[in-house]
Chain A
Amino acid sequence: QVQLVQSGAEVKKPGASVKVSCKASGYTFTSYGINWVRQAPGQGLEWVGWISAYNGNADYAQKLQDRVALTTDTSTSTAYMELRSLRSDDTAVYYCARGWELDHWGQGSLVTVSS
Chain B
Amino acid sequence: EIVLTQSPGSLYLSPGERATLSCRASQSVRSDYLVWYQQKPGQAPRLLIYGASSRATGIPDRFSGSGSGTDFTLTISRLEPEDFAVYYCQQYDTSPQTFGQGTKLEIK
Contacts and interface: CB of A to CB of B under 8 A. Distances in A.
Contacts of A35: 97
B44 A45 contact: no
A35 B50 CA distance: 16
B101 A102 contact: no
B46 interface: yes
Interface residues of B, number: 22
Contacts of B99: 37, 44-47
B98 interface: yes
Interface string A33-47: 001010000001111
A80 interface: no
A62 B95 CA distance: 10
A14 interface: no
Interface of B: 33, 35, 37, 39, 44-47, 50, 56-57, 88, 90, 92, 95-102
